[in-house]
């Protein structure tokens, strides 16, 4: 029994070694099989040169546009702020109880419209007191004037001394002075009484009411009753870089009306059209820009004070030029260029010089003539002499959708014909 145990132990020790050899052999066989020992069929992806060669000859799908002999406008873009010509915080000019509020929030008012009333009774009493004092002093003045006439007559008859006449003259002058003071007191009392009616100082639109009826208000309050803003007309303030100022100044000083369009924050919807009204007298050294102000009638009140808008200032309009789409202009190490097509739909690289940009159009000052076809989409795989396939919206709609799991070529390459 003892002789068999070591031999059995040796068998148990040798088995893992044979398993290791078996695993290595299987791994080598799998590596040989999957490493491509079998040649891939020609023309399939992974087949090497035959597939790549077929792709190199395929035309590149592109979209094109044609240059035109047209006109273009010189338009400068900026970001502006709508600014009211006048903004007034309507405040009380006398103290008292707010008896009536005669306006609605957001109401449009005219100059002189009564907006609110303060309790007028204390000020009516002061006016009555001033009128009473004025009448009393007026009676004394009239009596002094009659006495002066008598004294002057007696003095001519040598019945009284000259000193008595002079004293009466001085008394009359004193009452005349009191008369002016009384009249001023009456006018002041009447003015204070008129301040109990709070009126609109100008045409405009009211904001939200700040004080409710029944509150005690004071002339020293900084809050005010309501804010009144002039919205018709209204202005837009914007800035331009100093490099663009000379051309604007040239047109503005000649008296040419410069049209200004404003668009919403997304720069898609046109809000209003106005004219350049004034230009600031100095350039901001911190930003290198100059402020300009445009005037808008704002008849439909689409512009609100403090609203941010996109501004387009038209400096010149209707300039003749060769116009190309902005998408066709490419930039390289030697400047701007386009991919132009010849009669055989092959690509030619042509250097160009660009001028004014208006939206999605660019003026070509040199390098192209009218009627040249230029590539606007699909330029990534183009080279000099590349053949192209012109794609239209109709062709895109008719092109079948890709089959799931099917063979796909290189990005941007159309199906072989």
**pLDDT tens-digit map of 151-200:** 889 988 888 889 998 998 999 999 999 999 999 999 999 999 999 999 99
Confidence at 10, pLDDT banded by 50, 70, 90 = very low
Cα 187 to Cα 179: distance, rounded to the nearest angstrom: 12
User: How many domains does the chain divide into?
Assistant: 3
Apex CA 346: angle with CA 398 and CA 354, to 5°?
100
Average pLDDT taken over every residue of the chain: 83
pLDDT band, residue 360 (cuts 50/70/90): confident
The CATH number assigned to the domain holding 362 equals 2.40.420.20
Q: Are residues 163 and 222 in the same domain?
A: yes
Q: Helix %, strand %, coil % for the chain, to 5?
A: 30, 35, 35
Same domain assignment for residues 145 and 251: no
Q: Which phi-psi region, left, alpha or beta, contains residue 359 (left: φ > 0; alpha: ψ -120 to 50)?
A: left
Question: How far apart are the C-alpha atoms of 305 and 404, rounded to whole Å?
Answer: 56
The pTM of the whole model exceeds 0.85: no
Tell me, yes or no, whether 242 and 275 share the same domain: yes
**Do 412 and 382 touch, CB atoms closer than 8 A?**
no
Q: How confident is the model at residue 50 (pLDDT cuts 50, 70, 90)?
A: very low
What is the token pair recorded at 78? Answer: 């900026």
Looking at the fold, whether 274 and 325 belong to one and the same domain comes out as no
In a domain, 183, yes or no: yes
Is residue 13, in this structure, part of any structural domain at all? no
Do 188 and 147 belong together in one domain? yes
Residues 336 and 387 in one domain: yes
DSSP-derived pairing of the beta strands 388-390 and 330-332: unpaired
214 and 267 co-located in one domain: no
Mean pLDDT (whole number) for 7-31: 63
Calculate the alpha carbon distances from 294 to 210, 238, 268, 290, 312 in Å: 32, 8, 20, 13, 11
Residues 6+ apart with CB under 8 A from 126: 189, 192, 193
Range of the domain at 67: 60-71+320-398
Q: Which residue has the higher pLDDT, 114 or 1?
A: 114
Which band of pLDDT confidence, cut at 50, 70 and 90, is reported for residue 95? very high
List the CATH number of the domain containing 202. Answer: 2.40.50.100
When pLDDT is cut at 50, 70 and 90, the band that residue 352 belongs to is very high
Alpha-carbon distance of 187 to 55, in angstroms, equals 99
Q: What are the φ/ψ torsions at residue 388 (nearest 5 degrees)?
A: -125, 160
- Give the pLDDT confidence of 323-344 residue by residue, as tens digits: 999 898 999 888 899 999 988 8
Same domain, 180 and 246: no
């Amino acid at each position: 029994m003892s002789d068999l145990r070591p031999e059995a132990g040796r068998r148990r020790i040798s088995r893992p070694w044979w398993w290791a050899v078996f695993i290595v052999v299987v791994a080598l066989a799998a590596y040989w099989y999957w490493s491509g020992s079998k040649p891939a069929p020609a023309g399939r992806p992974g087949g090497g040169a035959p597939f790549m060669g077929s792709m190199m000859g395929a035309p590149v799908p592109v979209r094109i546009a044609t240059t035109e002999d047209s006109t273009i406008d010189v338009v400068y873009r900026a970001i502006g702020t709508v600014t009211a010509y006048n903004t007034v915080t309507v405040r009380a000019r006398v103290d008292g109880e707010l008896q009536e509020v005669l306006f609605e929030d957001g109401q449009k008012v005219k100059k002189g419209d009564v907006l609110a009333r303060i309790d007028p009774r204390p000020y009516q009493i002061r006016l009555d007191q001033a009128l009473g004092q004025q009448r009393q002093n007026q009676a004394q003045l009239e009596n002094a004037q009659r006495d002066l006439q008598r004294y002057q007559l007696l003095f001519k008859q040598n019945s009284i001394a000259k000193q008595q006449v002079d004293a009466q003259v001085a008394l009359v002058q004193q009452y005349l002075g009191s008369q002016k003071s009384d009249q001023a007191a009456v006018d002041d009392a009447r003015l204070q009484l008129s301040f109990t009616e709070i009126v609109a100082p100008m045409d405009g639109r009211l904001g939200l009411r700040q004080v409710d009826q029944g509150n005690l208000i004071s002339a020293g309050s900084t809050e005010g009753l309501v804010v009144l803003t002039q919205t018709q007309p209204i202005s837009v303030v914007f800035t331009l870089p100093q490099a663009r100022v000379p051309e604007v100044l040239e047109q503005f000083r000649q008296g040419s009306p410069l049209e200004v369009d404003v668009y919403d924050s997304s720069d898609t919807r046109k809000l209003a059209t106005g004219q350049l009204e004034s230009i600031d007298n100095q350039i901001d050294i911190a930003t290198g820009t100059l402020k300009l102000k445009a005037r808008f009638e704002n008849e439909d009140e689409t512009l609100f004070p403090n609203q941010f808008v996109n501004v387009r200032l038209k400096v010149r309009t209707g300039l003749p030029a060769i116009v190309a789409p902005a998408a066709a202009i490419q930039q390289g190490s030697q400047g701007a260029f386009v991919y132009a097509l010849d009669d055989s739909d092959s690509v030619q690289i042509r250097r160009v010089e660009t001028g004014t940009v208006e939206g999605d159009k660019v003026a070509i000052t040199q390098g192209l003539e009218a009627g040249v076809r230029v590539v606007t989409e699909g330029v990534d795989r183009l080279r000099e002499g590349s053949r192209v396939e012109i794609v239209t919206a109709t062709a895109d709609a008719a092109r079948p959708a890709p089959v799931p799991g099917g063979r796909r070529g290189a990005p941007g390459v159309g199906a072989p014909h």
